[in-house]
Amino acid sequence: MIVICKKETKKLVKGLRYEVQNLWNNGQNQRWMDGKIEVKGVSGRYSVNNFTDTNGNPVPNINHSTPRERIIENLKFADLKKGDILVCKVDSYKTMMKGGMYKIENLETFSYNRGTWTHTEEYVRFEGIKRKLRFNSWRFRKLTPEESREIQLGSILEGKDPEIIKTIDIDKFDKIVNKEKALMKILSKSILDTNRHHLSILEWACKKSNGNISITEDNYKDLLEMPLKDILQKIEN
């Protein structure tokens, strides 16, 4: 269900279309809830009077809810086995790629006593990755059914192996689709950082603001020669 904002707020833009996440407007909800709307991608609840339908009419007097995206359950170490493929969910590993697939080579558990209780540490070792990683249910996930299906179809129809990463020699910057946008994000952090000391904005961006992405000043060569209008266009695309 799509509605159009007719009243500007700090988070909403007048005239833009928004997808309804939840609508309570059938007159039978609790008083504090009735006449409220939640739109997808914007936090908070708003009055239905701030919106119209796509034809400019008042929001209909109904209740409506858009199913939320299925949340993939957090991993449990006990559910893992050798040979499972996991997807990295974070960009905090210097030698691992966010969104990359990794195959479990081994699972290790270490337990030791601490007074009256036993402490257990769980580790995962991936193929091609030298060091074992302490298991963290928030940093990896299992394949979705759709991903597993694609891998199976690729194997059966094309004889194609899944694109499992088995090396730590990854050029993260090279795998970024919109490199200009990534570079400008890094540069923006450097501009706002008051701890640059004697370094230039560009030097600080390459040394301290790039997270786990390896970049050099040469990566900015093309951007430095572009008009600001062209840079903004690349960032927005």
pTM of the complete model: 0.56
b/e string for 17-43 if b means 16 or more Cβ within 10 A? ebebbbbbbeeeeeeeeebbbbbeeee
At residue 95, the pLDDT reads 79
Length of the chain equals: 237
How confident is the chain (237 residues) per 10-residue block, as mean pLDDT? 91 91 93 93 93 94 79 77 92 82 93 83 92 90 87 83 82 77 87 84 81 82 88 79
Q: Write out pLDDT tens, residues 129-181.
A: 888 999 988 899 998 888 888 888 888 888 888 888 888 777 777 777 788 88
At residue 179, the pLDDT reads 83
204-213, Cβ contacts within 8 angstroms, sequence gap of 24 or more: 210/186, 211/91, 211/186, 212/91, 212/92, 212/93, 212/94, 212/172, 213/172, 213/173, 213/176, 213/182, 213/186
Alpha carbons 138 and 65: distance in angstroms, whole number: 28
